[in-house]
Structure 1
């Protein structure tokens, strides 16, 4: 560890598998105050200590530390107080820090948190830095747009991602079955999955009716969207049609049984059904394919979700944001610019937070990749780039409620506890009041 970087972490109880690593928040240089203006010292060489907070695995922590070390090698006056933890509980911890006026100078968010923390005035508006201290000219436009809330640029994309349908290529090849393709309709995908199940006795596809990513793509392909401002962008009838589509798939034997579907809904990426042999496909993010491959000897493939690929978009997998009350905004912004626009940093971080946001640096990085699975995930997303639709709005506060209620509603249908219509109406009634 570099002497200028202090990293804090601790292990939770072994039983908390979803939150295997966490850290105490010891932020000796945490930000506070209400100043919205930019600023730090006028002397660019004056000593600066920046507090940094993010979530991730030990592998991500090592990559991030290496990248910050690379920054420090070029800016020896800058020290970092780094804190990281598992995803579970991260938003709650950040909210606690915000309530106490002790927000880290630089911190990570995703689209489940961005609008929430922006509307609480936790995040700084970085618009004034755009085109200056932060260069986003090489980013896909939708990645920049997807970091805006109420007209303010509050997050800089740490990486690009999109939905990916990962399938067991070995299973298909061994049984002389065709591979799924980008552009096949949802009905064609279900028929294909039923064919796989009939030939291999392995359900062709995980049932994604509880997966917000899959529903989001499908509803966009219907000419609607997940949200319209602070309202849901779809009706109960739309959602009932989605549940009915997958009821038909279950009736055809194209998906696993409800208990196995539930297992796929609640497990982490290392135990998705495509690698445990309980389904021929899993519905994930495209950049997760290499991580899935680590957990199976079978060859995997990845394509877009079914339907018109313009329903997908260049999604920011994670953002870097700056504390609104930080008196070190200039320094924090400079670190962000380094992490996303410096080839050395990009090569260090790789695809851990998604494909590099800077297209030019992504291309250069891709030429250095030796892992065939990482190469494939990069290729698939690059191929889809010309087909992407316009990015949706950042989900409003309450998005996490929708995600949890979708799982509950979908499983109520799967287990026969509710009709598609009843489950959809119940979800609307619970979620809509939570948005804002």
Structure 2
């Protein structure tokens, strides 16, 4: 059973104490598409350390899933530690620097490349190629999004993708059409301006997402470009100027609210999103945030893909499971990863807490058990997009977090009229390249 460690000051939901186990000579690991059997020799009991960020609900569910693994493999127990997102990577980095990183840990695409370059994460390619970690059960772009230079460095713990969250009830009251998959940006802006006009300016048609890196990324991908090319930007100053011009024209057409209102939502804080506060009919979010947003309004919300070609989107890992390169038990860690991703019973326990199940078959089982209507809509949207997704890009390089913050800063200057589109783009490109070069 998992033993639980918490950082000081956090309330402990439960503490699992592992019973003493007899010495064993054979480890039997469950590995099929949903976790079958394969033998891994050992001459002693194995205790794996596991680390993730999240709240108490995530902790409870993850511990239950690990308990299930131990019930099938009593020679394997877990020492688990979890905490909030703040300070998580600082702690993980310090552990890695000391050579005592957890055997198995949670990571996201903001840091996967960096940790791979620092030789902290284990290359899982051999386990994937031999089927010990089965990625054939995942959407192709979701499996691909854990690869760096053709090597699998992380396995998606769950899937998420950008989603345009819109106020369906408002559109019904206004007798206006709903946005649709593949809606061109010019048509979307015209539609948003019509929403603003129909509400006499009380509710803008759309959030201005010019500060949102994922909106910019998908807009670039629809034109055959990328946010990054290795350790450099994958687009030009002229491209970014056109992006800022697009939203300058949208402001002029009153399709978006004022810069002051938009700034309230630029941080990404769910509670401040304009579709929830009633300041706009749409917000550019992650699709799995629909249930959180739905709790903040009595109107019915729905989700569709961002404007532009749907092939610009991909099945994104909401977070990955990664193994420490220095683990003493790489085969067992690989087996645990396969179990957490592909086992149906484990998937039912984990539910949608980290996002939709990465394994499509497991996702189907989990979806059948959903009771929350907004979560059902989110799951249905993700599933409907599987065959429309394009190929995944390479996960972002080191320095991505700085680039994201910089985009917000320069975009807000353009939104407020303190800088022209070209001035904002020039400042961004110069500083972003410096951030990427410095890591």
Confirm or deny a common fold (TM above 0.5). Answer: yes
Q: Per-residue CA shift, 1:8-60, capped at 9, x if unaligned? A: 14457xxxxxxxx999xxxxxxxxxxxxxxxxx96458422211111122222
Given that residues 22 and 84 in structure 1 are in contact (C-alpha distance below 8 angstroms), is that contact kept between their aligned partners in structure 2?
no
Separation (CA, whole Å) in 2 of partners of 1:263 and 1:84: 30
Separation (CA, whole Å) in 1 of partners of 2:295 and 2:8: 25
**What's 1:296 paired with?**
297
Q: Which moved more, 1:371-380 or 1:361-370?
A: 361-370
**What's 1:358 paired with?**
359
Separation (CA, whole Å) in 1 of partners of 2:74 and 2:55: 27
Q: Is 1:86 aligned to residue 87 of structure 2?
A: no
Return closer, same or farther for 1:257/1:11 CA change in 2, 3 Å cut-off.
Answer: farther
Return closer, same or farther for 1:45/1:175 CA change in 2, 3 Å cut-off.
Answer: farther
Q: Per-residue CA shift, 1:224-257, capped at 9, x if unaligned? A: 1111122211000000100110111111221121
Matches within 5 A, 1:48-63: 48-63=46-61
**What's 1:425 paired with?**
426
Return closer, same or farther for 1:61/1:135 CA change in 2, 3 Å cut-off.
Answer: same
**What's 2:399 paired with?**
398
**What's 1:27 paired with?**
none
Give the deviation of 1:435 after TM superposition.
2.2
Report the TM-score, using the length of structure 1 for normalisation: 0.89
Give the deviation of 1:88 after TM superposition.
2.5
**What's 1:67 paired with?**
65
**What's 1:315 paired with?**
316
Q: Is 1:388 aligned to residue 386 of structure 2?
A: no
Separation (CA, whole Å) in 1 of partners of 2:65 and 2:12: 20
Q: Secondary structure at the match of 2:250?
A: helix
**What's 2:124 paired with?**
126
Return closer, same or farther for 1:171/1:328 CA change in 2, 3 Å cut-off.
Answer: same
**What's 1:173 paired with?**
172
Give the deviation of 1:383 after TM superposition.
1.2
Given that residues 145 and 316 in structure 2 are in contact (C-alpha distance below 8 angstroms), is that contact kept between their aligned partners in structure 1?
yes
RMSD over aligned CA atoms reads 2.0
Give the deviation of 1:133 after TM superposition.
2.2
Report the TM-score, using the length of structure 2 for normalisation: 0.89
5+ residue gaps, structure 2:
14-38
Given that residues 9 and 22 in structure 1 are in contact (C-alpha distance below 8 angstroms), is that contact kept between their aligned partners in structure 2?
no
Separation (CA, whole Å) in 2 of partners of 1:11 and 1:185: 49
**What's 2:231 paired with?**
230
* Count of paired positions: 409
Separation (CA, whole Å) in 1 of partners of 2:8 and 2:273: 27
Given that residues 286 and 377 in structure 1 are in contact (C-alpha distance below 8 angstroms), is that contact kept between their aligned partners in structure 2?
yes
Q: Per-residue CA shift, 1:313-359, capped at 9, x if unaligned? A: 11111100000011122222221111101001111112222221111
Return closer, same or farther for 1:195/1:42 CA change in 2, 3 Å cut-off.
Answer: closer
Separation (CA, whole Å) in 2 of partners of 1:334 and 1:289: 33
Separation (CA, whole Å) in 2 of partners of 1:42 and 1:193: 59
Return closer, same or farther for 1:62/1:295 CA change in 2, 3 Å cut-off.
Answer: farther
Separation (CA, whole Å) in 1 of partners of 2:75 and 2:295: 39
Q: Out of 42, 45, 48, which is 1:47 matched to?
A: 45
Separation (CA, whole Å) in 1 of partners of 2:170 and 2:68: 43
**What's 1:34 paired with?**
none
Q: Which moved more, 1:260-269 or 1:406-415?
A: 260-269
Separation (CA, whole Å) in 2 of partners of 1:385 and 1:45: 44
Separation (CA, whole Å) in 1 of partners of 2:386 and 2:159: 10
Separation (CA, whole Å) in 1 of partners of 2:292 and 2:60: 16
**What's 2:193 paired with?**
194
Return closer, same or farther for 1:280/1:45 CA change in 2, 3 Å cut-off.
Answer: farther
Given that residues 10 and 22 in structure 1 are in contact (C-alpha distance below 8 angstroms), is that contact kept between their aligned partners in structure 2?
no
Separation (CA, whole Å) in 2 of partners of 1:374 and 1:186: 27
Given that residues 154 and 321 in structure 1 are in contact (C-alpha distance below 8 angstroms), is that contact kept between their aligned partners in structure 2?
yes
Given that residues 203 and 278 in structure 2 are in contact (C-alpha distance below 8 angstroms), is that contact kept between their aligned partners in structure 1?
yes
**What's 2:159 paired with?**
160
Give the deviation of 1:365 after TM superposition.
2.1
Q: Which moved more, 1:69-78 or 1:96-105?
A: 69-78
Return closer, same or farther for 1:398/1:140 CA change in 2, 3 Å cut-off.
Answer: same
Q: Which moved more, 1:70-79 or 1:304-313?
A: 70-79
**What's 1:30 paired with?**
none
Give the deviation of 1:72 after TM superposition.
2.1
**What's 2:141 paired with?**
142
Give the deviation of 1:208 after TM superposition.
0.4
Separation (CA, whole Å) in 1 of partners of 2:81 and 2:191: 46
Return closer, same or farther for 1:163/1:391 CA change in 2, 3 Å cut-off.
Answer: same
